[in-house]
């Protein structure tokens, strides 16, 4: 069974959108271990998928404040512990959505990349193409390479920028799994269409 950890070059890069696409493509289960703030990404994914096979697993940490998980946890008077984050039992494929980017802190010592390394599943890295995204994407790739974390590939999200895409792909050395165009609206039909496009690359 396939298990992918979806992360991104920053907050609001499109992790939840990509997670919904992958969940639908594989009819996979979905799990976001750490959620900081509302609305919950879990609910968003659940509302965007159409298949009846996927199971949505509850968050290990559900925090009230929309901020860095380490700060949100302190506000709620809890401490995020990697040791308490256990992958849900399932016989299905599993899509795991991270929080923010790779170096978002979870507590005073651990970052999202530490969670990804602990879980040891292939990474799918989402990059949205804004001014500065080349730097942010390649820094994320360097961090993954330094930890020797296996990467399935990149997904570009949003307005096309071929110049940025080409230099990122060349320097990162990872395959591009999908280019998601700018979307005026996101609904189940859109997710179904995009899931058809990526299915063969992630099966």
- Residues 61-86: tens digit of each pLDDT: 999 999 999 999 999 999 999 999 99
CA proximity to 104, closest of 94, 95, 114, 90 = 114
Query: β-pairing, 34-36 with 61-63?
Result: parallel
Mean pLDDT confidence for 180-185: 96
Annotated catalytic residue, options 15, 32, 84, 162? 32
Q: Quick one: pLDDT at residue 145?
A: 98
Q: Which residues lie closer than 8 Å to 148 by C-beta, 6 or more apart?
A: none
Domain spans of the chain, in order of start:
3-202
pLDDT tens, position by position, 8-56: 999 999 999 999 999 999 999 999 999 999 999 999 999 999 999 999 9
Q: Quick one: pLDDT at residue 168?
A: 98
CA proximity to 67, closest of 85, 80, 57, 58 = 80
CB 1 within 8 A of CB 7: no
| Catalytic (active site) residue 150 | no
Q: Quick one: pLDDT at residue 15?
A: 98
CA proximity to 161, closest of 175, 137, 177, 179 = 179
Rounded CA separation 134/202 (Å): 24
* pTM of the predicted protein model: 0.97
Tokens found for residue 109? 């010592």
pLDDT tens, position by position, 86-111: 999 999 999 999 999 999 999 999 99
| Architecture of the CATH domain 3-202 | 3-Layer(aba) Sandwich (3.40)
Residue with tokens 């949205």: 128
pLDDT tens, position by position, 107-162: 999 999 999 999 999 999 999 999 999 999 999 999 999 999 999 999 999 999 99
Q: Quick one: pLDDT at residue 14?
A: 97
């Amino acid at each position: 069974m396939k298990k992918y950890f979806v992360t991104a070059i920053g907050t609001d890069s499109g992790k939840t959108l990509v997670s919904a696409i992958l969940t639908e493509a594989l009819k996979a289960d979905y799990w976001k271990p750490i959620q900081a703030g509302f609305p919950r990404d879990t609910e968003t994914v659940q509302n965007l998928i159409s298949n009846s096979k996927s199971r949505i697993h509850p968050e290990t940490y559900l925090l009230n404040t929309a901020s860095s998980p380490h700060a949100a946890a302190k506000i709620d008077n809890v401490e995020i512990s990697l040791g308490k984050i256990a992958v849900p039992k399932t016989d299905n494929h599993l899509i795991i959505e991270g929080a923010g980017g790779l170096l978002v802190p979870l507590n005073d010592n651990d970052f999202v990349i530490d969670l990804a390394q602990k879980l040891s599943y292939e990474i799918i890295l989402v990059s949205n193409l804004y001014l500065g995204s080349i730097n942010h994407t390649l820094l994320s790739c360097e961090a993954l390479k330094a930890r020797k974390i296996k990467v399935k590939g990149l997904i570009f999200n949003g307005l096309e920028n071929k110049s940025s895409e080409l230099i990122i792909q060349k320097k990162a050395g990872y395959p591009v799994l999908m280019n998601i165009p700018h979307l005026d609206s996101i609904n189940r039909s859109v997710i179904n269409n995009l899931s058809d496009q990526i299915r063969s690359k992630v099966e």
